[in-house]
Structure 1
Amino acid sequence: MKWQSLLLIGMLIGAVLAAGCTDEEATGPVAQPAVDVVQPGQVLTLIGDVTGNSLAGGAIDTLTFNVGLVPGAAPVDMEKITIYYADTIQTETLVPVSGFRGNPPQGAWGILNVTDEVGQPNDRLEDREQFTIQINPRAYLPAKRLVAIVVRSPTGTPLTIRRFAPPTILKENNILLPL
């Protein structure tokens, strides 16, 4: 009986030592990519990065992002959306440019491009279309500042985009960092 206990203890010690003596590296937790969560009832979704272009002096003046429909959502008339901009200093409601398409002046937003447009050109977001929207708030966005952009459609939960300006601001294509 005593030799059976010793045999069992020896096998347990051998198993513990063998488990720790492999050539494989232990894999740590895999970092998940930053993705904005689609809220219940949301009809618009962010596609890709939020980028900004800057002025001389190191502050972002225009922000550009792509929106599309959440799978299964009904088309959205982009002429009826409202866009709000907020940073740690101010909040403002942006107005659309005349005709809804084009580069926006300060305090405005505009549709720069439509990808995979369905049918004749219009301001209705449908199917797999993506609208590239550019906003030009009155306040400039300095480095490392938090910004929130809310795109409210006539129906559904608004799309809320929260990002940080990068620590170093370049003239073009500054990718804003997710929270």
Structure 2
Amino acid sequence: MSFRPYSKAEQLNVKEKPSPKKKRYPKKKKKRHQPLKPEIYKDRLIPKRSTRGRITSKEYNEALRQHGEYCFLCGTTAGLEAHHVKFRSDGGRGQWRNIRFLCSEHHRGENSPHKNENIRKRLEKLHESLYGPFYWCDKYDLFLGNLIPNTTEEAFEEFMEKEAKKLNGSAE
């Protein structure tokens, strides 16, 4: 017969606690964003909203040519940044008619259109008076709204020129 002493836990009828281990938290599942299905309208592929809001170098250069190389608010020529008159979050596109140049101080500072409602409204009214109510649109917006027959640059520019002429009172 062999001598087998009881452990303290067995003597007290208490289950032994497992040795402490590092507490592992379950990994959070990453939310997988479903890729947006490309929108097709009248057999035409409509690009994503984010793509249409970007300012291309072509549009940037055209905006410089049309609006000048100076800050709209103070007139300085240093540190210019392209500003969407109608914000991208509101559907504004990267077309030159929707771009104004601001110095970095006026684009990001306290007197920026992002923080000052009066400046934002002033810019929007100016662009609407120059280019019409669709100044912020691109050819796909007009096509989706059945305002132009197709998504060609010619149809888009023709429509935008007619809108500008309506404002000047020289509509045909």
Determine which structure has greater relative contact order: mean sequence separation of CA pairs < 8 Å that are 6+ residues apart, divided by chain length.
Answer: 1
Q: TM-score, normalised by structure 2?
A: 0.24
Q: TM-score, normalised by structure 1?
A: 0.23
Higher helix proportion:
2
Higher strand proportion:
1
Greater radius of gyration (CA): 2
